[in-house]
Amino acid sequence: MATRGDALSSEGDENIEQSQGHRGTRADRPKCTIVHLDLGIGGAEHLIVLAALAMQGRDSTSEGADSRGQQKAEENGSRADDGYDVEVITTRHDRNRCFPATVDGRLKVFEYGHFLPRSIFGKAVAFCSLLRMLWLVLVIFVTGRWRRNVIINDQVAAVNPLLSFFCEKLVFYAHFPDLLLVQRTPHSPGFFAALKKLYRVVMDGIEEATTGKCDLLLFNSRFTEQTFRRTFPSLRFPPHTVLYPPVDTAGADAFRRRFSRDACIASLKALPEFKNFDFSVPFVFSLNRYEKKKDLPLAIHAVAHARGHDAAGAPLNLVMAGGFCSQLPENGEVFADLLRLARMQSELDVLWPAAASEQGSSGAPENTERTQVLFLKNISEETRQSLMALALCLVYTPFEEHFGMVPLEANALGCPVVASNSGGPRESILHGKTGFLCEHDAGSFGDSILMLVRMQRGEPHIYTEMRENARRHVKENFDCGAFGARLRQLVAETQRGGVRGETKAL
């Protein structure tokens, strides 16, 4: 069953063998297979990449050289030769839209089942996801990947009972109940409505019955764990714990050493999107996928509120960026709605994408007192980090987000965060120290943004202290080294039968 995955892994095999050197050959090391549906560039995918690197050994835990994390690993009794021979299997892996570790030889990635659809005319996404995961299970069987020491699965719990046949220990990482991610609509009478209702009952029942069919159940936050308990009251929990997703603090520190403020601005100014953007004015940064559940219009309304309530009348700009896939109709709809909303506001000046009448214009905006707004798609890692390092704050608009990696990534670069006082951000943001937790409305968000504007303008030492607090908080609680050491420790305890059936967060 030759696939593109074979080529993906063979390109870097020599590099992998050399990097493993002192840890012995693959044949001598325990084997770990990580199963993930789509290996793109989202938060869940970043977690999978870091988990795979962590399972290989402590020197691969971070995408950067996190010496602090290595020290923590040593303190927890983890040694380099404790690493596993790790492979990641997935149904989709686009080499042009992925994390570097999946293509530069550090990880073995195999892609199977790319031909399988993600949906059927935009419907039955959960069913198609199940079919694609069942295909990966079949691949494991046909290709002889039997009796793995550890298999790590995430997102799709339905295949847990089958995966358990192929490994000594099965670890399932739970992001959020799929049952709650489905957009429910009132059922109208008729055969198709009844069929749809039956479909959801079956899919929800499978999720509830299989989530606990593993040897170790990991949650990305306490909020997610509590949500699983409320959603599936009959779920019998195996040994479980909370393991927060990590942040590449070493990479953030390396970026800050390489790029000064002026260097960040120069890097962005080289891009056509930023040609007329005024970096002398504070700007708010929003980073989320262009999806309805992210409540992105809130960012526009919050900035408008802050501008309208600032007695000084100082300008304030907005940069909105996010993942965008042309194959997903929702992304296009949300992007178009945001553009329409921004262009309806008289105080907003949308610089990018430029209106048809402005295409080819090279002059500066006519009215620099208006709020400049940029809408960006699929920005590079360097652009993302530059914007976080320069922004007044990150505004994070999802309500009851499962955990939320973006706020911590912003904090790692010293960017305060304004987020909803709900869900995972309540566990990651220190109110008043690393950012602000708000009521979920434009007034509360806007007031917090305005507070930061006034702080930066009138009390810069306090604003600088908040930025330092943010960096320190992430390093002490969410770095890759601690995550890797903890993950290997939990897997080792599970293999010894030592993880207790109670919650304990990293």
Do 452 and 42 contact (CB within 8 A), yes or no? no
Contact of 257 with 385, CB cutoff 8 Å: no
Instruction: List all residues 6 or more positions away from 291 whose beta carbon is below 8 Å from its beta carbon.
Output: 330, 331, 334
The CA R_g of the chain, rounded to the nearest whole Å, is 23
Compute the distance between CA of residue 42 and CA of residue 479 in angstroms, rounded to an integer: 18
Q: Give the tens place of pLDDT for each residue, 474-490.
A: 999 998 888 988 999 99
The answer to whether the beta carbons of residues 15 and 124 sit under 8 Å apart is no
pLDDT (tens digit per residue) in 252-265: 999 999 999 999 99
Supply 491's token pair. 């897997």
Q: Cite the residue boundaries of each domain of the chain with CATH code 3.40.50.2000.
A: 4-177+188-246+479-495, 249-477
Any idea which architecture 249-477 has in CATH? 3-Layer(aba) Sandwich (3.40)
Q: SS3 sequence, 60-128? A: HCCCCCCHHHHHHHHHCCCCHHHCCEEEEEEEECCCCCCCHHHCCCCCEEEECCCCCCCCECCECHHHH
Measured distance CA(478)–CA(459) in Å, rounded: 29
Global pTM reads 0.81
The tens digit of pLDDT for each residue in 186-220 reads 656 677 778 888 888 899 899 999 999 999 999 99
Between the alpha carbon of residue 343 and those of residues 299, 336, 351, 354, 368, the distances in Å are 14, 11, 10, 11, 16
Distances in Å between the Cα of 292 and the Cα atoms of 38, 70, 506 are: 20, 40, 31
List pLDDT tens digits, range 40-93: 877 788 899 989 998 988 444 445 433 334 444 444 444 445 689 999 999 999
Residue 138's pLDDT band (cuts 50, 70, 90): very high
Query: In this structure, which topology does domain 4-177+188-246+479-495 adopt according to CATH?
Result: Rossmann fold (3.40.50)
Mean of the per-residue pLDDT values for the chain?
86
Cβ neighbors of 430 (< 8 A, separation 6 or more) are: 469, 473
**DSSP-based three-state secondary structure for 437:** strand
Handedness of CA 40, 41, 46, 52 (dihedral sign): positive
